[in-house]
Amino acid sequence: MKLAQLNIALAKYPLDAEEIKEFVDNLELVNNIAESSDGFVWRLKDESGDATDIKVFDDPNMIINMSVWDSVDALKNFMFRSHHRDFMRRKSEWFHRLAEETYVLWWVEDGHVPTLDEALTRLEHLRNKGDTPYAFTFKTNYTAEEAPKSYVSN
């Protein structure tokens, strides 16, 4: 079993604005750190090498990030123990704080590449029902063994 994650963020500025340039200019660096991290499996990207041009919301400033990891610890190590954490500390400079959950975690079978529809369904489930084995956050951190087979993407 692998851990999938979706993260969405609403940029305060268009991605070509000077105010968010430092974030945009470091996407390749941070994505390379992710891909070279222990436990990294896959990430959503387009021809440009990131996912900023993949639009799934009406608001063009809403960006997404989706990836798959070997474990919760692997994802946490990348997020909080690499250069990525320096950008997370500054997210309020570039992104709005949203009232609803902006990320979701769920378990997938080995080899499964999650779809955007699947990820958005998980996020909506989390927003409506809270943390469950189907869709959860780091707060509850359900293990793969706790995810009923009917909840696992395959």
* Helix runs in 51-146, H state only: 72-80, 84-88, 91-94, 116-129
pLDDT value at position 52?
A: 86
* Mode of pairing for the β-strands spanning 40-43 and 62-69: antiparallel
Q: Confidence band (pLDDT; 50, 70, 90) for 147?
A: confident
Q: How far apart are CA 138 and CA 103, in angstroms?
A: 10
Count structural domains, the chain. Answer: 1
Per residue in 97-130, pLDDT tens? 999 999 999 999 999 999 999 999 999 999 999 9
Torsion of CA 50, 54, 58, 60, to 10 degrees: 40
Nearest to 27 by CA among 44, 41, 39: 44
Residue range(s) defining the domain that contains residue 53 = 2-151
- Residue 154 clears pLDDT 60, i.e. is over it: no
Q: What would you measure as the largest C-alpha separation in the chain, in angstroms?
A: 47
The CATH number for 123's domain is 3.30.70.100
Global pTM value: 0.92
